[in-house]
Structure 1
Amino acid sequence: MLQHNAELKSKINQLWDKFWSGGISNPLTAIEQITYLLFMKRLDELDLKKQLDAEWTDEPYKSKFEGKWVPPELRSKIPDNASELEKIDYRANDEKKHGIDRRGLRWSQFNKKPAEQMLEHVQTKVFPFLKDLNGTESNFTHHMKNAVFIIPKPSLLVEAVKTIDEIFVIMEKDAKQGQNFQDIQGDVYEFLLSEIASAGKNGQFRTPRHIIKLLAELVQPKLGDKICDPACGTGGFLLGGYQYIVTQLALKAGTKDLIPDEDGFIRTSVASTLTPDAQAILDTSLFGFDIDGTMVRLGLMNLMMHGISEPQIDYKDTLSKTFEEEGQYNIIMANPPFTGNVDKGDINERFQSGTTKSELLFMENIYHLLRKGGTAGVIIPQGVLTGKGKAFQFIRKQLIERCDFKAVISMPSGVFKPYAGVSTAILIFTKVWGPKEKISTPATERVWFYDMERDGYSLDDKRIKKEDFGDLQDIIYQYNGYISEEHSQKQNKEWDRTKKCFAVPFKEIESEGYDLSFNCYKEHTFDSVEYESPLTIVERLISSEVGELSEKDISKIESGIVRDLLDLRGMISEQ
């Protein structure tokens, strides 16, 4: 992994330094511009690889850099009633007049140009081609419409291109030593994203990758599931779901060379074991929404660089009146914004909690977005578990009674450092009753609690990797064991509530006002300790000071620490 590769990490830091000294000091802006360059490089390499594969297998493949490209603004407006032959003539004429040779848009071609020519070429030809990559009607092109290439200096572009080429050489070398190239690329991209070191507006911040992997292990998405994150940011949870599915399919196909990562998880992004049908299903299974246009673009490119050809990430406010989706998704994995209030006049009318708090509205929204039988894994602040207000209790009651509320996993406050120090928890629940259905019996019989004390990293701002996995793998083991017991009808098991995990029946949770905090149900034990009497302690101190002196000799001592101890002994003896 990246933190163990000093050479690769050093090159990425060099890239950051070049952008900083080149006048692009905003981390998010720098990431966006670096992402465009990484995308150009990877696009060229993937295309060349597919060409070679096609030559080897004799299967047809049309390169993205074959023929001529006409910028959208120079394309003729083809009449709706034009025949197919007329459309071909229109396009041929456009190419003859305005066409740009696609071969010159390759990274491996333009990176040889002199500095001034390179900057102009990328600004006026390569980047517009990139924005138009998937065709005028594609989701990617739609969200790239307002993207801007703002690298201002030829020298900065040349240095950035050179450094990225060096990064890819190191990545190729590591891939030859056994690690999957796409996994290394993912590490590089995640390291870049980790440089967004402060919470954004609306309380957005990155979820650590090992926590995403843990959550995916708990909800266990399958091929064919529609997976959603209603506040997706850079798409980390969607990528986590994709990688979990690809890994499970690879293991089922007999792949033997996958080894656990530093957190104990087995993961791969490489879809070589997928059939074309399975890949097509995965490509249309991931759905994300965000209200930040930059995040939407980063999310799209993040998933595309991991082999997902057309991610369904969109610019939408899923809490607003204009968002009408209901009961669409099998799996929801999310870490919605924790802080902030939503404009009351724009809140979707289907929400019944009567609050403007974003974390509560997202919880209600996730319930609505799930299909019946669908499962959610959501990270929330601890306050949602214990809040006494009507809205807090309404949300918890709704989720516990209308869903099979499976688990609450409390996490230590340092998990999200350096972004935030707030204590958080993972909630796992499966939708049973729809919002308009009358409940005949509450869907939850009991809730499983786990108190995560360690996540395998230091809980300070540095977040240094520890030698062990913390509680991560134990959580998966204990949770799977609990679910197996539930399925085998061992519901009446007596749980030791002095331990770090146990289950609590619905009736008890109901009697506690639907409080979902671990400490509300934990039983604390206190060990009895016997202490020596004060007189015995004083006698021992006197003995240590004067040794074998007789009481007569001791009585002659008029001052000092021994005299004070003798006086103290006399006062204690009188009581």
Structure 2
Amino acid sequence: MLIGEERNKVDQIWDTFWTGGLTNPLLVIEQFTYLLFIKQLDDIETENEANAALLGFENEEKIFGPDQQNYRWSKFKNLAPAVQFQLMQEEIFPFIKNLHPDDDASYTRFMKDATFQISAPDKLAKIIEGIDKLELDEEDSKGDLYEYMLSKLASSKINGQFRTPRHIIEMMVEMAAPQPTDTIVDPAMGTAGFLVAAEEFIRKHHEDMLLDDAQAQHFNTTMFHGFDTDPTMLRIGTMNMMLHGVQNPSIDYKDSLSKHNPDKELYTLVLANPPFKGSLDNETVEESLLRVTKTKKTELLFLALFLRILKLGGRAAVIVPDGVLFGSSKAHKAIRKELVDNNKLTAVISMPSGVFKPYAGVSTAILFFTKTNAGGTDKVWFYDMQADGYSLDDKRQEIPENDIPDIIARFKNLEQEEDRKRTEQSFFVPVEEIQQNGYDLSINKYKEIEYVPVEYPSTSELMTKLDKLNMEISSDMEKLRAMLGQ
């Protein structure tokens, strides 16, 4: 998490954008990202040059040609503001837009429509100076910086964007445990938070993957897939992945629920927090989804989509609003029945309503399931999350109470949960009981509350105490009167 002085530096840069006329947070993040990317290109070039010199080889991975050395951050950051501004507008920004002119990479496609929107030389110079002072030596620091910038979407609610808290994403990814062989997708990716967390998990737990040429190629090109319908979010998501070291993520414009999405049995892991509110016209929705759950509700249609796009044996970790768990409509029951009877539902984690503040106070849950098309649910693990390490109000300040480590530890050792009672925070429910309850998946349907009887003193004891108190009060009053000479 970005804290202290570094956060203040980012705030100062943000204020410079703001006073320069850029007040849309998405546009600020976009322009901020372009400059970070330009700086990173120079960092990569410098590192390649140093490695080549150390090994006595010629640097064959040059980004900047002989006539483009002034495009390097280390060079142009020291130029006069007017020269910087002209160079950025006329040469450097067109250069980064056309880094891969013959490539069909996500970066190339989404940068075609990119525009440079910093309007004055003095503002650009101040922003460059601010970015140059940021400590961005490690991958984690870049991720923290990006996360902090994205958090500024909270008060704007631009385009209805609904940012998933990073610690919730990281918990889900830790539990889903992506593998080097996985093909991962987020069909409603936003800023690509889930894909970034999956990439970080792979680097941490499977670092040897990047030492193998074939696996490294998979990591950089075909492992991570993300779709959205907002061009700005697609650019931000692509740059986010590239800043985290994924060279060419498979990110594309796609309305995932529409008839124009042909994806079927392509992925092995879905990580997503799809849109909750809203409904679609049935005529625009892909027919195979309506066969699973005939509805206009996006949260139900996305669950049907996840099952369609997963390969057999593929798994999902996804966030849903509470209504999905207990809604009584035919569509609600149909999708729950599909998950329980025709696939393998592993876990339902109920989250407190404050998790998504300050965006909204909606209650949500996380579903973990595996596509089998042949059932497999024998029992479902429920967990009642009470705290996520932050206050459940709009401020979301850090607090000691945090169930997340316990959730992860228990999920990884489910065999030890067999004897847990319904009065505890986590427990199993057999599939037969879920079926008998109309496939209700709300934890309150199965949780038992243990009432501890309270014993009160008898009436005579209370009267004796009252008499004693009255006598003490009378005695104190007599002493007070004596002191006052009455």
State the TM-score bracket (shorter-chain normalisation).
over 0.9
Cα displacement (A) at 1:147: 1.2
Q: Which residue of 2 aligns with 1:219?
A: 176
Question: Which residue matches 1:154?
Answer: 121
Offset, 1:393: 0.8
What is the alpha-carbon distance in structure 1 between the residues aligned to residue 73 and residue 376 of structure 2? Answer: 56
Task: Tell me, in whole angstroms, the C-alpha distance in 2 between the residues paired with 1:218 and 1:229.
Answer: 16
Counterpart residue number, 2:139: 182
Closer, same or farther: CA 32–465 of 1 in aligned 2, 3 Å: same
Q: What's the CA shift for 1:337? A: 0.9
**Partner SS for 1:102:** helix
**Residue 302 (structure 1) aligns with:** 240
Structure 1 residues 149-188: Cα deviation after superposition (integer angstroms, max 9, x where no partner): 1111111111001101111xx334xxxxxxxx11111111
Match of 1:41 in 2: 39
Cα distance, 1:189–1:424 mapped onto 2, change above 3 Å? same
Post-superposition Cα deviations, 1:267-317, rounded to whole Å, max 9, x if no partner, equal xxxx8x634433222112000001111111001000101111101111110
Question: SS of the counterpart of 1:191?
Answer: helix
**2:472 and 2:243 mapped to 1: Cα distance?**
79
Q: Which amino acid aligns with 2:249?
A: P
Residue number among 5, 10, 15 corresponding to 1:7 in the alignment: 5
Q: Is the 8 A contact 1:290 1:296 kept in 2?
A: yes
After TM superposition, the runs of 4+ consecutive aligned structure 1 residues lying more than 6 A away are none
Equivalent in 446, 452, 465 of residue 540 of structure 1: 465
Identity %: 43
TM-score, with normalisation over the residues of structure 2? 0.92
Offset, 1:122: 1.0
Q: Please name the residue that 1:454 is paired with.
A: 387
Distance 2:136 2:379 in 1: 48
Residues in 1 aligned to 2:70 and 2:422: alpha-carbon distance in whole angstroms: 67
Shift of 1:463: 1.6
Partners in 2 of 1:368 and 1:386 — Cα distance?
Answer: 23
For 2:196, the equivalent position in structure 1 comes to 239
Spell out the pairing of 1:379-458 with structure 2 (5 A cutoff): 379-433=319-373, 439=374, 442-458=375-391
Alpha-carbon distance in structure 1 between the residues aligned to 2:81 and 2:408: 53
Label 1:199 to 1:373 Cα distance change in 2 as closer, same or farther (>3 A): farther
Contact 2:25 2:156 in 1 (8 A): no
In terms of mean alpha carbon deviation, does 151-160 or 131-140 score higher? 131-140
* d(CA) in 1 for partners of 2:473, 2:156: 69
Alignment of 1:348-359 (within 5 A): 348-351=286-289, 352=291, 353-359=293-299
Question: For structure 1, which runs of at least 5 residues remain unmatched after alignment?
Answer: 68-100, 173-180, 254-270, 434-438, 487-492, 550-575
Cα contact 2:421–2:427 (8 A) shared by 1: yes
Residue number in structure 2 paired with 1:262? none
**CA 331–404 in structure 1, closer or farther in 2 if over 3 Å, else same:** same
Question: Out of 180, 185, 208, which is 1:228 matched to?
Answer: 185
> Shift in Å at residue 380 of structure 1?
0.9
**Counterpart Cα distance in 2 of 1:142 and 1:288:** 14
Q: Give aligned pairs, total.
A: 469
Please give the secondary structure, in 2, of the residue aligned with 1:350: helix
Partner of 1:222, secondary structure, is coil
SS, match of residue 373 in structure 1: strand
Asked if the contact 1:199–1:419 (Cα under 8 Å) also holds between the matched residues in 2, the reply is no
Tell me: CA distance 1:203–1:396, structure 2 relative to 1, closer, same or farther (3 Å).
farther
2:48·2:59 contact (CA, 8 Å) conserved in 1? no
Query: What is the Cα deviation at residue 29 of structure 1?
Result: 1.1
CA distance in 2, matches of 1:202, 1:358: 17
Map 1:68-107; keep pairs closer than 5 Å. Answer: 101-107=67-73
Stretch of structure 1 that moved more, 54-63 or 401-410: 54-63
How far residue 343 of structure 1 moved from its aligned partner, in angstroms, is 2.9
| Range that drifts further, 119-128 or 54-63 | 54-63
**Which letter does structure 1 place at the counterpart of 2:7?**
K
Query: Does the Cα contact within 8 Å between 1:458 and 1:465 map onto a contact in 2?
Result: yes
Alpha carbons of 1:548 and 1:224: their partners in 2 closer, same or farther (altered >3 Å)?
A: closer
Give me the whole-angstrom Cα distance separating, in 2, the residues matched to 1:61 and 1:463. 48
The offset of 1:547, in angstroms, is 6.2
Write the letter of the residue equivalent to 2:195: L
8 A Cα contact 2:180 2:215, kept in partner: yes
Q: How does 1:284-299 map to 2 (within 5 A)?
A: 284-299=222-237
Structure 2, unaligned stretches of length 5 or more?
A: 475-486
Aligned to 2:60: 61
Instruction: Determine the structure 2 residue equivalent to 1:497.
Output: 422
Residues 203 and 337 in structure 1, CA contact (< 8 A), matched pair in contact too: no
Q: Does 1:371 align with 2:311?
A: yes
Shift of 1:38: 0.8
Helix, strand or coil for the counterpart of 1:163?
helix
Number of the residue aligned with 1:570: none
Q: Which amino acid aligns with 1:480?
A: K
TM-align CA RMSD: 2.0
- With the length of structure 1 as denominator, give the TM-score of the two structures: 0.78
In structure 2, how many angstroms separate the alpha carbons of the residues matched to 1:359 and 1:198? 24
Whole-Å separation in 1 of the counterparts to 2:132 and 2:283: 50
Which secondary structure does the structure 1 equivalent of 2:123 belong to?
helix
Q: What CA deviation, in whole Å up to 9, does each residue of 1:338-388 have, x standing for no partner? A: 111123321111112111111111111111111100010001111111111
Contact 1:51/1:61 (8 A) holds in 2: no
| Contact 2:48/2:61 (<8 A) preserved | no
- C-alpha displacement of 1:548: 12
Is the partner of 1:394 in helix, strand or coil? helix
Match of 1:274 in 2: 211
What SS is found at the alignment partner of 1:192? helix
AA partner of residue 34 (structure 1):
F
Structure 2 residue 97 is matched with structure 1 residue 125: no
Shift of 1:541: 1.3
Task: Please state whether the residue corresponding to 1:364 is helix, strand or coil.
Answer: helix
Structure 1 distance, partners of 2:218, 2:76, is 35
Provide the residue aligned with 1:135 in structure 2: 101
The letter for the 1-side match of 2:296 is: T
Question: How many angstroms does 1:55 deviate by?
Answer: 2.3
Check conservation: 1:203, 1:339, Cα contact below 8 A: no
Q: Tell me how far 1:208 sits from its aligned partner.
A: 1.3
CA distance in 1, matches of 2:423, 2:473: 49
The one-letter amino acid paired with 2:77 is N
Conserved in 1, the CA contact under 8 Å of 2:191 and 2:233? yes
